[in-house]
Amino acid sequence: MPQSLTIAQVSPHRRATRKPVNEFVGRLSEELAARGHEIVRIGSAEPVKRPLTARPFDIVHVHEPFAPSVSAAALRHSLSLNVATFHAPQERVLSTQVARPLVEIFFGRIDARTVTSEATAALLEKYFPATYELVAPAGWTATGGERDWAAVADDFEAVYGRVLARRHDPTGDPKLRAELAKRPLIEVDLHMHTDHSGDCATPVEVLLQTARDRGLGAIAITDHNEVSGALEAAAIAESMDGLKVIVAEEVKTAEQGEVIGLFLEEKIPKGLTMAETIAAIREQGGLVYVPHPFDRFHSVPDYEHLLDMVEEIDLLEVFNPRVALTAFNEEAVRFAGKYRIIPAAGSDSHVAQGLGSVRQRIHDFDGPAEFLEAMRDADITRKHKNLVYVQTLKFLQTTGRPKAPKRRVSNAKPARGGRPRRPPTGRRSPSKS
């Protein structure tokens, strides 16, 4: 591996303790350091959050990251790509039985999993199904040959290299970005719905008027499994000054959650595999945008499926005001950061009152290539909205409605200022004498 890496090696034991895991970590660290890599070792009873967050690491390599341990804590705090090595073929009842759901969340942050024996792999696959790569320690092998620590370091350099190769190139097109910088800034909301979605009652005209009233320069209409609302909006917006409509669709895949296609021309059917859906987006020259990726209350691809498609993701939604827990947004920020994916945000508004509650300020653009380049310098901001209030409006507007889309709300009007107008109470119009 030609490049020098900064690697944290985290053991669950005190560094001075004579343990097989510590010997493995120590010998591997020595070999990697001899090759020019910068190694930071962390053991039990040592601070873990500060060293892992105070500086960037290329790789955080955790050993036996079962909870509770410093290795598990490292997964909690790491902002880097994480490689895990599991050593002993021994069940940890606390992790496999009692705290298994929590352990699965932290194991979900592992970007490559290795084991030191086939027995360890078999045990882990029983409780935490995933792909485990065998990297045996130094010593005599089953075939009778001797394996040294240089070979172990070779294997881990290959593992590190494969993980690092999946990061996106942040360079983009500097020449195009310089041209875009000459254009005015506009504000964009990238996730919203109209009454062409089955769970929304906002007419297209109301959405467009609200977007313009709130100073948005571009919006992406992302109806569920439908583009008719976005196409209608795009046609109307052609006669409106200062508002672009990105035709988009939030597509439900067969088993891997939802994905948004931006800059589409026609509907993509639901129920395809994620790979088929992405291919359909690409065929139309569109961009792949993953919404609310870690919100377990939405239909989302799990971490392993995100890893399968990480090279195909153009944008990742890192802020969605409708997620149940802020930790879901934080997890999205973490994932986008370590894979260098362009971050994005959207209000996911199902009522006009929520429109523009989160937006990004970017330079004006024409088409997907310019948009993607402009998003590299996006400034994501949020405006306070009462989520309970917005969700209540959605409930009142959609409860009891038939499944068919395009139900019109009587006397629907654009929302201004984020709250509906209320008639004055306790006052009478002055009488005319």
pLDDT tens profile 326-381: 778 888 888 999 999 999 999 988 887 888 889 999 999 999 999 999 999 999 98
Residues 390 and 379 sit within 8 Å (Cβ to Cβ): no
Residue 393 pLDDT level (bands cut at 50, 70, 90): very low
Report pLDDT for 300. Answer: 64
Tell me which of 381 and 29 has the higher pLDDT. 29
pLDDT at 412 over 70: no
Where b means 16+ CB within 10 Å and e means fewer, 361-398 reads ebbbbeebebbbbbbbbbebeeeebeeeebeebbeebb
The rounded distance, in Å, linking the Cα atoms of 349 and 353 is 8
Reported confidence tier of residue 116, pLDDT bands at 50, 70, 90: very high
pLDDT at 29: 97
pLDDT value, residue 403: 44
**What are the CA-CA distances from residue 120 to residues 51, 92, 250, 305 (Å)?**
30, 12, 40, 23
pLDDT, averaged across the chain: 85
Q: Classify domain 6-164 at the CATH class level.
A: alpha beta
Look at 1 and 195; give whichever has higher pLDDT: 195
CA distance 387 to 348: 11
- Alpha-carbon gap, residue 346 to 323, rounded angstroms: 11
The region of weakest confidence among 17-26, 283-292, 325-334, 367-376 is: 325-334
Q: What is the mean pLDDT of residues 174-180?
A: 95
Distance CA 179, CA 162 (A): 34
Place of tokens 């890599």: 37
Looking at the predicted structure, is the pLDDT value of residue 417 above 60?
Answer: no
Nearest to 244 by CA among 103, 125, 368, 135: 368
Domain assignments of the chain as residue spans, ordered by start = 6-164, 174-398
Q: How far is CA 141 from CA 31, 114, 137, 146, in A?
A: 20, 17, 9, 6
pLDDT at 256 over 60: yes
Q: What is the mean pLDDT of residues 217-226?
A: 95
Q: If you count them, how many residues does the chain have?
A: 433
Domain over 174-398 is classified CATH 3.100.10.10: no
Alpha carbons 206 and 365: distance in angstroms, whole number: 24
Q: What is the pLDDT of residues 147-175, one digit of tens each?
A: 899 999 999 999 999 999 999 999 999 99
| Among 24-38, 194-208, 395-409, the least confident range | 395-409
Tell me the pLDDT tens digit for each residue of 73-102. Answer: 999 999 999 999 999 998 888 887 877 888
- pLDDT at residue 406 above 70? no
Mean pLDDT: which of 132-141, 189-198, 260-269, 418-427 is highest? 260-269
Q: What is the pLDDT, as a whole number, of residue 5?
A: 96
Identify which has the larger pLDDT, 239 or 36: 36
What is the pLDDT confidence band of residue 414, given thresholds at 50, 70 and 90?
low
Q: What is the pLDDT of residue 141?
A: 65
pLDDT of residue 1: 62
Three-class DSSP category at 106: helix
Is pLDDT above 60 for 311?
A: yes
* Domains 6-164 and 174-398 equal at CATH topology level: no
Q: Which residue has the higher pLDDT, 184 or 145?
A: 184
pLDDT at 415: 55
pLDDT at 90: 87
